[in-house]
A and B are shown apart, each in its own frame.
Chain A
Amino acid sequence: MPSPAIEVRGLRKSYDGTEAVTGVDLTVDEGEIFALLGPNGAGKTTTVEIMEGHRARTSGDVSVLGHDPAKRERALKERIGIVLQDTGVNRFLTVAEVIDQYRGYYPDPRPRDEIIEVVGLADKRDELVRRLSGGQQRRLDVAVGLAGDPELLFLDEPTTGFDPSARRNAWQMIKNLNELGKTIFLTTHYMDEAQFLADRVAIIVAGKIVAEGTPEALREGLAGDARPTYSVAPERAQELQQLAQSKGIELIEVSTGKPSLEEVYLSLTRPADDQPESGAQ
């Protein structure tokens, strides 16, 4: 059994009396990709920033690679990489210079050209940061997060604002990093991102984890609430429809496969009074 990279128990955070995080428990194992999924304002960024040492918690226990991040120890910062939404780098340096600058902060950095290659900025290595496009700057953000060759990488909404092909590339990059043995903790509000990347997913709503498990298990878990789905061989689908019709059974929807993670997510994050009434149509 691998030891957990991150362990969070009873985490709470309040700002001026309002609770942003109201009791989060999480375990992230070494070597896995863990996604924290939730709508905007659910407490994702607060939770991840507490793990990174950027914020102090109100109560609870947090252990990251065996350290308490609130102590802001250099020994921990040398082993993690952080990619946030609202951080920047010096805009008057080149891509290669910025990466070298950050590599210099770590005892055992990753080779510069390897980093540039991994994030796909090889043709921009001598370009000033201020001349990069938004997507390229985001990739540079990831590159800077990789500078110290971290064991654990935090990615806060890594593909927000990406076009579809850039997202696919970013996903592949994250998979590749994971294959190199990195533990990856990512937050996202994209269902497909969590479904594609994550070994395990936790869904956070209003500062609380409402579901946790593999994407598969979460989809299975919703089966109880879901409409029954019958699967037949594709070529006999029409036959089934005719049969239903002849018996006076209305088929509301014909679909294939399990509910998507998106359906699971929407059913969990929707306010209770917003649930559609069954049989309304």
Chain B
Amino acid sequence: MSTAALTLRQLRYENKSFWRNPASAFFTFAFPLMFLVIFNLLFGSSDFGPPGSEISGSTFYVPAIAAFSVITACYTNIAISTTFLRDEGVLKRVRGTPLPPLSYLLARMFHATIMAVVLVAIVVVFGALLYDVEVPTSNLVELTGIVALGAFTFSALGLAATAMIPNADAAPPVVNATILPLLFISDVFIPLASAPDWLESVAKVFPIWHYSHAMLTVFEPSGAFEGGNLWIVGAWGLAGVALATRFFTWEPRK
């Protein structure tokens, strides 16, 4: 069988086992929605943005949580679950078989991508039904592209992150410590109208700030998509691939 056929086959098993753990599946989907609901309760009625081009809190949070969905489905999920699989010896077992290692990793990345797509769809539908945030029908191509780019970058970074996670028990704290601060300083959870300039400069080094801002413009009622800085997101993805290629390990660490 070709690498592509083996990847697809592996994807089926990844998907099957994902749904066999209902608690994990439920909260994977409920988690971003919880943030969407909570942030809307807290800030939904305030307006954000520079004077003259203010947007409502709801219009801000639907794209922000859509961006968060891609990040959590890909980066957080892949980094934590792959570390567990590594320490349970599943990766080592697979590596002793003729399955091309790339097929296995691609199947995991594709599975995370499917999760991201489903999550973004749920967030968009929720936003339309509950918060009157228009489905960005005029920017569907841009939306698809930005989800695909995010899935690539954040999955690659998730695989790269496993290399610095010493063991499965350390996976959740390490992953959260790398991602939560960035979510707070990158206009995802809270719009940073009054943040010091230097903090924004720090945020702009990393991919999340650029990602969430580009996502915001996908939902712009005027339809003016601005993806000029997405090359930074893509560059981080390539860096993730390079780091994972060099440092990813298949052996359990004790």
Instruction: State the CA gap A102–B95 with chains docked (Å).
Output: 11
Taking CB atoms, residues of chain A closer than 8 Å to B95 are 54
Q: Are B6 and A88 closer than 8 Å at their CB atoms?
A: no
Binds B, one of A78-86, A118-126, A197-205, A264-272: A78-86
Q: Are B97 and A77 closer than 8 Å at their CB atoms?
A: yes
Instruction: State the CA gap A104–B90 with chains docked (Å).
Output: 16
Instruction: State the CA gap A89–B20 with chains docked (Å).
Output: 14
Taking CB atoms, residues of chain B closer than 8 Å to A241 are none
Q: Are A88 and B89 closer than 8 Å at their CB atoms?
A: yes
Count contacts on B: residues with CB < 8 A to the other chain.
23
Taking CB atoms, residues of chain A closer than 8 Å to B251 are 54
Tell me, yes or no, whether B204 is within 8 Å of chain A by CB: no
Q: Are A97 and B89 closer than 8 Å at their CB atoms?
A: no
Q: Are B90 and A93 closer than 8 Å at their CB atoms?
A: no
Instruction: State the CA gap A241–B134 with chains docked (Å).
Output: 103
Closest beta carbon of chain B to A99's beta carbon, Å: 12
Taking CB atoms, residues of chain A closer than 8 Å to B97 are 77, 102, 105-106, 147-148
Q: Are B98 and A148 closer than 8 Å at their CB atoms?
A: yes
Instruction: State the CA gap A84–B88 with chains docked (Å).
Output: 12
Binds A, one of B9-17, B40-48, B156-164, B188-196: B9-17
Instruction: State the CA gap A102–B9 with chains docked (Å).
Output: 11
The contact of A106 among B20, B21, B98, by CB within 8 Å, is B98
Q: Can you report 15 residue pairs joining A to B where beta carbons are below 8 Å apart?
A: A52-B96, A74-B100, A77-B96, A86-B89, A88-B93, A89-B90, A92-B16, A97-B16, A104-B1, A104-B6, A105-B97, A105-B98, A106-B97, A147-B97, A148-B97
Tell me, yes or no, whether A144 is within 8 Å of chain B by CB: yes
**Looking at chain A, what size class is its interface with the partner chain?**
20 to 34
Q: Are B96 and A87 closer than 8 Å at their CB atoms?
A: yes
Residues A93 and B96 in contact in the complex (CB < 8 Å), given A86-B89, A88-B89 = no
Query: B residues engaging A (CB < 8 A)?
Result: 1, 6, 9-10, 13, 16-18, 20-21, 88-90, 92-93, 95-100, 251-252
Taking CB atoms, residues of chain B closer than 8 Å to A91 are 88
Per-position binary interface string of chain A over residues 62-98, scored 1 when its CB falls under 8 Å from any chain B CB and 0 otherwise: 0000000000001001100010101111111100010
Q: Are A88 and B90 closer than 8 Å at their CB atoms?
A: yes
The contact of A93 among B6, B17, B92, by CB within 8 Å, is B17
Closest beta carbon of chain A to B90's beta carbon, Å: 5
Q: Are A74 and B90 closer than 8 Å at their CB atoms?
A: no
Q: Are B89 and A84 closer than 8 Å at their CB atoms?
A: yes
Smallest CB gap from A106: residue in B = B98
Instruction: State the CA gap A106–B96 with chains docked (Å).
Output: 12
Tell me, yes or no, whether A59 is within 8 Å of chain B by CB: no
Instruction: State the CA gap A27–B252 with chains docked (Å).
Output: 30
Taking CB atoms, residues of chain B closer than 8 Å to A78 are 98
Closest beta carbon of chain A to B16's beta carbon, Å: 7
Closest beta carbon of chain B to A171's beta carbon, Å: 23
Taking CB atoms, residues of chain B closer than 8 Å to A20 are none
Smallest CB gap from A80: residue in B = B96
Residues A97 and B13 in contact in the complex (CB < 8 Å), given A87-B89, A87-B93, A105-B6 = yes
Taking CB atoms, residues of chain A closer than 8 Å to B96 are 52-54, 77, 82, 84, 87
Residues A84 and B93 in contact in the complex (CB < 8 Å), given A74-B98, A74-B100 = yes
Q: Are B21 and A77 closer than 8 Å at their CB atoms?
A: no
Smallest CB gap from B12: residue in A = A101
Tell me, yes or no, whether A222 is within 8 Å of chain B by CB: no
Specify which of B16, B96, B98 lies most central, judged by the most chain A CB atoms within 10 Å of its CB.
B96
Taking CB atoms, residues of chain B closer than 8 Å to A92 are 16-18, 20-21
Q: Are B13 and A77 closer than 8 Å at their CB atoms?
A: no
Instruction: State the CA gap A106–B98 with chains docked (Å).
Output: 7
Q: Are B98 and A93 closer than 8 Å at their CB atoms?
A: no
Instruction: State the CA gap A93–B89 with chains docked (Å).
Output: 16
Closest beta carbon of chain B to A73's beta carbon, Å: 9
Tell me, yes or no, whether A128 is within 8 Å of chain B by CB: yes
Smallest CB gap from B21: residue in A = A92
The contact of B93 among A74, A104, A144, by CB within 8 Å, is A144
Instruction: State the CA gap A106–B1 with chains docked (Å).
Output: 9
Closest beta carbon of chain A to B25's beta carbon, Å: 10
Taking CB atoms, residues of chain A closer than 8 Å to B92 are 54, 84, 86-87
Q: Are B88 and A88 closer than 8 Å at their CB atoms?
A: yes
Residues A87 and B90 in contact in the complex (CB < 8 Å), given A92-B17, A97-B16 = yes
Residues A90 and B90 in contact in the complex (CB < 8 Å), given A105-B6, A148-B98 = yes
The contact of A90 among B6, B13, B99, B252, by CB within 8 Å, is B13
Chain A residues 176 to 219 lying within 8 A of chain B, measured CB to CB, are: none
Smallest CB gap from A93: residue in B = B17
Q: Are A105 and B90 closer than 8 Å at their CB atoms?
A: no
Besides A74-B98, A105-B6, 11 other CB < 8 A contacts? A52-B96, A54-B92, A74-B100, A77-B98, A87-B89, A88-B89, A90-B17, A90-B90, A93-B20, A97-B13, A104-B9
